[in-house]
Amino acid sequence: MNIARWLQGHAKEPDRLALTFEDREWSYGDVDAVTSRVASGLARLGVEPGDRVGCMLPNWPEFHFTTHGTWKAGAVEVPINTMFRAEEVEFVLGDSRATAVVASPETAAVISGVRDRLPDLRAVVVAGTCDVPGTVSFEELLELGDPGARAAEVAADDLAVIAYTSGTTGFPKGAMLDHANVVVSMEALARYLDLGRDDNVLQVLPCFHSNASLIGIVFAWYLGSTAVLLERFEPERFVETVRARRPAFFAFVPTLLHDLSRMEGTRPARSRRCGT
pLDDT at 222 over 90: yes
Measuring CA to CA, how many Å separate 152 from each of 87, 121, 252? Answer: 33, 22, 33
Closest CA to 250 of 212, 210, 223: 212
List pLDDT tens digits, range 39-58: 999 999 999 999 999 999 99
pTM summary value:
0.91
CATH class entry, domain 5-261? alpha beta
Q: Compare 225 and 260 and report the one with higher pLDDT.
A: 225
| Backbone phi and psi for residue 264, each to the nearest 5 degrees, phi listed first | -85, 140
Question: Contact at 8 Å (CB) between 49 and 154?
Answer: yes
List pLDDT tens digits, range 104-155: 999 999 999 999 999 999 999 999 888 888 999 999 999 999 999 999 999 9
Radius of gyration of the chain (CA): 18
pLDDT at 181 over 70: yes
11-43 in b/e burial notation, b at 16+ Cβ within 10 A? beeeebbbbbbeeeebbbbbbbbbbbbbbbbbb
Which run of H or of E encompasses 178?
Answer: strand 174-178
Q: Largest alpha-carbon pair distance within the chain?
A: 55
Q: What is the DSSP code (8-state) at residue 115?
A: G
- The confidence band for 262, taking pLDDT boundaries of 50, 70 and 90, is confident
Mean pLDDT over residues 258-268, rounded? 69
